[in-house]
Chains A and B, each alone.
Chain A
Amino acid sequence: MRSTTTILQLFLKDLRQNPGSAIASVLAIALGVALFIAIQLAGSAARSSFVSAVEAVSGKTTHEVSQTGGLPPARFTDFMDHPSVQAAQPIVEDYVSIHQVYRDHQKLDQKIGPLRILGVDPLLSNPFLTVNANEPLVSPSDFNSFLTEAGSTLVSRSWAEENDLKLNDLIQVAVRGELKSLKILGIYDFEVLGEAVRETAVVDIATAQEVLGRTETIDRFDLIIKKGEEEKVSQILKPGERLERPSQRGERTAKMVDAFRLNLAALGSLALLVGSLLVFNAGQFRVVRRSQLMGQLRCLGVEGFQLRLAILVEISLFGLIGSGLGIVIGNLLAQGLTGSISQTITDLYTFIQVEITPISGTLVVITIAGATAITALAGWIPASDASKTSPRLTGIRSREEHDYKIHLPRLVALSILSFGMGILSVNLEVGGWWVGILASIFFLVSAACALPPILATVLPALKRLSEQMGFHLLPIALGALYRSLSRTSGAAAALGVSLGMTIGVIIMVTSFQKEVMRWVQSNLQADVYIADAYEKVSRNNAKIPESFLADLKNYEEIENVDTLRGLEIPFKDGSIFFTGIDLHSGSHVHKLEFLEGNPDRALKMLQAGEVIISEPLATKHDLSVGDPFPLSSRQGERQLTVAGVFRDYSYDRGYASTSKERFVQEFGDTGVRNMGLYLKPGIDAEAFSEKLRKDAAKSYFLKIRSNSQLRADVLEIFNRTFQLTYLLQTIATILALTGIGVTLYCLFIERAKEIATLRSIGASLRQITRLLLAESITLALVPVVLAIPLGAILAWILISVVNLRAFGWSLPFHWPLSEIALTCSLALGAGLVASFIPFKAVKNQSLAQILREQ
């Protein structure tokens, strides 16, 4: 035991003398862990934001009654009175957008963003939400106003303080294309609403109905049902009504972002792989660096197991410190990503404020244990080899490299095995998109395992070739790289893997983008598009005011109008977008690209009240023309027939349309939520939309865009959607390049003697520079070359397996050659830059001193 302590003290001394490589190792581990943590946190945050938003408001609610299009208020009595219902509360709730805040009739500067309106009936004695307050929250006289005056609201203290809001401030919100005012009557501590829903205005249910423009309905009835009596309550349900647990609603909403989470899951697996490789590399490096010291210790009679133990302790400490640091960095990184995630989900799905939840203890333990184990394993393999070999041979680098190369055939086998598994998984008929992710991971592992054997094969071959071609320095460089394979292959594999993934995603995104833009081109035919400006904030509450529709009749420039009514409705275990369309002669429906079904016949059936469905919906639920389409409307359960399948990229959850008449019959007139205007020939769409915008701005909050503006917006949203992907990819690649940099640094430092010797026998500084540059380029070039075929395989999986299974979209391939070339050159360039700092350090070393030391 004592000798182990002594060895550790020796290690420590060595550390003090060479802190640079120690710091580099810890950093490498930390970065690998950080990337993994960041993506883990971001991915779970997206989902938990939905679930927790639902849970925070539902409180003690055991069940909820809801119906598409809302419930009639009088219906509430039946549940209030039910013997199995212990308590009931009607809820009207939605998001609105804050437009402006006024204090004493003065506009305030702050822009606050979205606000959740939570309408409840405070007259009901229900234990749904708990308030922790000992003092009266509002003055009694104000409370009378809260109940009786339209627009009175209470807001949470934390939110008010954060945004400098005071009592009696007027919050002007935009909803359904119009402005409504809320007056802050009370600022309260409403702890149960917690952090996730701080931006909440608690209002009387009547105010909520008025502000949200749905005075005839209630969104849901929250119930506390006696244990085991759910069945008794469900017996009084009318057709179209749903009784579910709040968590089911949360799950249903959370399902919406499944496709988005897929994106993160894919990146998460990449992060795990790159991170592990970096950690492995760092672990290995620590031991390899120790080899000389170990050799000396073995010569002094230290036993192999003592060495192993000491190494294990040291390397585990590195793993611990590195992963601890990584968790901190990962947390920060995740915080930085929240804005981007919120924006993307809001763009694509619904308004949500994603907040990174504090990292869970389990994740911390798993990460630290995992990272430490990988580090220890990485160090253990060479350490155990070192301790097994005779003391004489220990510490001789060629010996270590020899040991490492013994492992190469195993890597080849592992690579082939992984490749085979990848092929096998791709061909799996069962399973969803995760099969694609699984296959990708296999291919990535295969590539990572293949890289060291490839380097081991390619480097000697290149060396011989360069010798034959008469180069002097290049063979030395290649030889040096070959001799240090144990140190360099991990970093190279990390680079190859992350670059391959990047190329795969570039191909997928480009193919996607080209196809979407083509589709937009052929589908967006109207000249001007109008939507509720805050459609995003609340998808089911978007509406273009009727008075505006009436105003439109006064514009002579308009030839034809397309209107769209739509609701997000539950469908099977998820939700879809269901619309009612105008079927006049100019309607956009005639321009739809039908993938299945005869267009004329489909339109006729549509006219008769049947449905046409989008490709994702057809793929996901295995629906084709002629199949029954179950619809749960306000009137009850309906069975429609699928009349056609059309191409659509606007909703990944699926999209179904019927005629306007049928829609109104089933859901009531929910109002027009989107419209397209066709202008008379010769009218300039840009100028007209500008004019319309100006006219409408006086009293409405509408988004009025010309065809070209809308296309530009679509492209922008598309790019924003993949921003996160690009961002994380870049981070992964930068990390991989950092890995290369760190590796080169250590390598160069280690080879200081060799370089000094070269210089002392007459090599010029310039020659040395060229030598080291050649090494750097080669080290980056091999993974880059490997990344191209890997990227192509991954792109194929992403498009043909993952995309199709997750979104239901079929896409033709596009090969963005220039972008791939650019990415590869950037990686090579970055590889050179990464080697710059270590190179400089080597260059500045004092020759005499190094040789003296040796």
Chain B
Amino acid sequence: MKLRLFNEYPIQRYFIFSFIVLLNLMSNVDAQDFKRADRPREFNFPQDDGNHPEYKTEWWYLTGNLKDSKGNLYGIQATWFRSLLSKLKSPRQSPLAVQDVFFFHGALTDVSQKEFSFDQRSSRKAKGWAHSDSENLNVKIWGDTLKQIENTSQETKWEIKFRVKQKLIQLTLTATTEPLLHGEIPGLSQKGSAEGQASYYYSRPRLQARGTIKDRVSGKEVVVDGSLWFDHEFGSNQLSKDQVGWDWFSVPLDDGTDLMLYLIRKKDGTLEAKSSGTIRLPDGKRHHLVKDDFKVEVLQTWTSPESGGIYPSKWKLRVPKHNIELEVEPVISGQELLTQGTTGVNYFEGLCRFTGKRNTKAITGYGYVELVGYAGEFVYGL
């Protein structure tokens, strides 16, 4: 799951009040105006890869690893986020009138150079600025785009193009697996015990990626290929006020196992009972994991010199039910997205190496870990 924070947006200095919007744009809209994820859903692809405007929030999330011809490893993250700010009470004349707001976060981890950089942009929904299609996958915020370019019975192909500072990343993605639905009821992912405190959530692990990372200043280009993990989630008001953050893990392992886990932390220091996960074994069978099905032990912490946040930085993951034991460690430290110029929450989103065994067989893989709520206040109202 990828619950994004809104106050982390670096509005810098344009208007000091900008971040307030981002802090509050969720909480000020009456959730009753929207549909809620409160019942089973029949997913229909590729249409469900597209936009669901009847829900307040929606995000499309890509994380993964790439290698160039020299074997250099890169991690990438690209998120497109949509939030419906207002339902128009009366029609407005300006096509720029705000209804939906879109955000983009992008990050690039250059492992060989031990460099991490990130970028972020926002826009209202407007022609040529930002939009998302309902028919199939086509999301755009300024020049950052994610769209389906081919969909046949054999193959689903996407194209992704985004900017992280001066680097332009352009990839063609080919789906190699079926979508992986999360939640006890497949596709309905519960975030708390209240009705409707959930989102519709699925992943497309192991998207085969091929393309380039181009330096827009020097014009230098490297050809890369690798594997990305796609998440798509939509819903209205999933989180409650006593939840202060979460730890999220996702990894495609080399034995063919796909694993996703999340832990929602509560104010009182306990874990949300609805914390859960999904595992798809090499045989293609999907299993829902409840909180007690897995254990996450923090082995080490890292203190951010920038935000001061103390983040877990090494874990032991256990899924006893499936005889899985994994050690997780970031490929480089400091993969933290900072929210300069605002008082917003910073978060860690980093490429990690997963090593361990399933049954007795050694397994490994590059996955992503997201840690939210460790540096600063947490935002409610998602």
Chain A positions near chain B (C-beta within 8 angstroms): 73-77, 80-81, 83, 89, 120-131, 133, 136-138, 140-141, 143-144, 147-150, 186, 204-207, 209-210, 215-216
Most buried by B among A141, A150, A210: A150
Contacts of B216 in A (CB 8 A): 83
CB distance from A421 to the nearest CB of B (A): 56
Q: How near does chain B come to A226, taking the closest CB pair, in angstroms?
A: 9
Apart from the given pairs A140-B20, A144-B21, 19 other A-B contacts in the complex at a CB distance below 8 Å: A73-B126, A74-B126, A75-B128, A122-B18, A122-B21, A123-B18, A123-B21, A123-B124, A124-B123, A125-B10, A125-B12, A125-B120, A127-B12, A131-B16, A144-B24, A144-B25, A148-B86, A150-B97, A215-B95
CB-defined contacts of B85 to chain A, threshold 8 Å: 144, 147-148
Q: Quick one: which of A128, A141, A148 has the most chain B CB within 10 A?
A: A148
- Please, which residue of chain B has its CB at the minimum distance from the CB of A138? B17
Q: Provide the bound-state CA to CA distance between A136 and B12, in Å.
A: 15
B9 on the interface (CB 8 Å rule)?
yes
B17 touches A143 (CB 8 A): yes
Alpha-carbon distance between A849 and B85 when the two chains are bound, in angstroms? 94
Say yes or no: A83-B166 contact (C-beta < 8 A), given A140-B20, A210-B94: yes
- Among residues of A, the one whose C-beta sits closest to the C-beta of B219 is A83
B70 at the interface (CB under 8 A from A): no
Q: Flag B51-88 by CB within 8 Å of A: 1 or 0 each.
A: 00000000000000000000000000000000001101
B11 in contact (CB, < 8 A):
yes
Most chain-A CB neighbours within 10 Å: which of B15, B90, B95, B123? B15
Interface pair A205/B96, CB less than 8 Å apart: yes
Q: Which residues of B are found within 8 Å of A137, using beta-carbon distances?
A: 16-17
Contact of B92 among A89, A144, A210 (CB under 8 A): A210
Distance from B92 Cβ to chain A, minimum over Cβ atoms (Å): 5
What is the CA–CA distance of A207 and B124 in the complex, to the nearest angstrom?
A: 14
Quick check: A127 and B29 within 8 Å, CB to CB?
no
Distance in angstroms between the alpha carbons of A76 and B121 in the assembled complex: 14
**With A73-B128, A76-B129, A125-B11 in contact, do A83 and B217 touch (Cβ < 8 Å)?**
yes
B86 touches A77 (CB 8 A): no
B46 interface residue (CB < 8 Å to A): no
In Å, the complex CA distance between A830 and B258 comes to 103
Is B14 within 8 A of A124, CB to CB? yes
Task: Give chain B residues whose Cβ lies under 8 Å from the Cβ of A215.
Answer: 93-96
Q: Are A138 and B10 in contact (CB under 8 A)?
A: no
Report whether B11 and A206 are in contact in the complex, using a CB–CB cutoff of 8 Å. no
Query: Contact at B142–A77, with CB atoms within 8 Å?
Result: yes
Q: Are B20 and A138 in contact (CB under 8 A)?
A: yes
Give Cα A125 to B13, complex, Å: 7
Listed from nearest, the 5 A-B pairs whose CB atoms lie closest are A74-B128, A81-B143, A148-B86, A206-B94, A140-B24
Closest A residue, CB atoms, query B85: A148
B121 touches A136 (CB 8 A): no
In the complex, which residue of chain B has the Cβ closest to the Cβ of A202?
Answer: B15
**B98 touching A89 by the CB < 8 A rule?**
no
What would be 14 A-B contacts, judged by CB atoms less than 8 Å apart? A81-B143, A123-B18, A125-B12, A125-B341, A126-B14, A128-B14, A140-B23, A140-B27, A143-B24, A144-B29, A148-B86, A148-B99, A204-B98, A210-B97
* A131:B128 contact, CB within 8 angstroms: no
Q: A136-B20, A150-B97 are in contact. Are A81 and B142 (CB under 8 A)?
A: yes
Select one of A74, A77, A122 contacting B17, CB under 8 A.
Answer: A122
Bound: A130/B12 CA distance, A = 10
A133 touches B93 (CB 8 A): no
Give the chain A neighbours of B13 by CB distance below 8 A.
127, 129-131
When distances are taken between beta carbons in the complex, the residues of chain A under 8 Å from B28 are 140-141, 144
Where the two chains meet, the residues of B that have a C-beta atom closer than 8 Å to any C-beta of A are: 9-18, 20-21, 23-25, 27-29, 85-86, 88, 90, 92-99, 101, 120-124, 126-129, 142-143, 163, 166, 216-217, 341
Docked-complex contact A209 and B15, CB < 8 angstroms:
no
CB within 8 Å for A136 and B17 given contacts A144-B24, A144-B85: yes
A149 nearest CB neighbor, chain B only: B86
User: Which of these, B15, B27, B86, B96, contacts A122 with CB under 8 Å?
Assistant: B15
CA–CA, A591 to B88, complex, Å? 52
Query: Least Cβ distance of B126 to chain A in Å?
Result: 6
B97 surroundings in chain A (CB, below 8 A): 148, 150, 206, 210
The answer to whether residues A133 and B16 also contact, given A144-B28, A206-B97 and a CB cut-off of 8 A, is yes
- Closest A residue by C-beta to B25: A144
How many whole Å from A377's CB to the nearest CB in chain B?
54
Q: Which residues of B contact A143 (CB under 8 A)?
A: 17, 20-21, 24
B290 to chain A, nearest CB (A): 36
Question: B341 — nearest CB in chain A belongs to which residue?
Answer: A125
* Alpha-carbon distance between A365 and B204 when the two chains are bound, in angstroms: 75
Q: Chain B residues with Cβ under 8 A from A126's Cβ?
A: 12, 14
B16 lies within 8 A of A125 (CB): no
- Per the bound structure, the CA–CA distance linking A327 and B10 in Å amounts to 49
Q: Determine the chain A residues whose CB is within 8 A of the CB of B86 once the complex forms.
A: 144, 147-149
A638 to B101, CA, bound (A): 40
Chain B residues with Cβ under 8 A from A128's Cβ? Answer: 14
B361 to chain A, nearest CB (A): 47
* A residues less than 8 Å from B16 (CB atoms): 131, 133, 136-137
Residues of B within 8 A of A83 (CB): 166, 216-217
Residues of A within 8 A of B18 (CB): 122-123, 125
Q: Chain B residues near A149 (CB, 8 Å)?
A: 86
Closest to B101 in A: A123
Which A residue's beta carbon lies closest to that of B15?
A122
For residue A179, give the distance in angstroms from its CB to the closest CB of chain B: 15
Which one of A74, A120, A122, A133 has the greatest number of beta carbons of chain B within 10 Å? A122
Q: Which residues of A are found within 8 Å of B101, using beta-carbon distances?
A: 123
Using A123-B101, A126-B14 as known contacts, say yes or no to A73 and B21 having CB atoms under 8 A apart. no
Minimal beta-carbon separation of B99 from chain A (angstroms): 7
Complex alpha-carbon distance, A140 and B16, angstroms: 12
A639-B24 Cα distance, complex, nearest whole Å: 53
A688 to chain B, nearest CB (A): 34
A125: which B residues are within 8 A, CB to CB? 9-12, 14, 18, 120-122, 341
User: Least Cβ distance of A129 to chain B in Å?
Assistant: 6
Contact of B14 among A129, A136, A204 (CB under 8 A): A129
Q: A73 to B121: give the CA distance in the assembly, Å.
A: 17
Q: In the complex, what residues of A have CB within 8 A of residue B127's CB? A: 73-74
User: A121 to B126, alpha carbons, bound, how many Å?
Assistant: 12
Closest-CB distance, B314 to chain A (whole angstroms):
34
List of A residues within 8 angstroms of B14 by Cβ: 89, 120, 122, 124-129
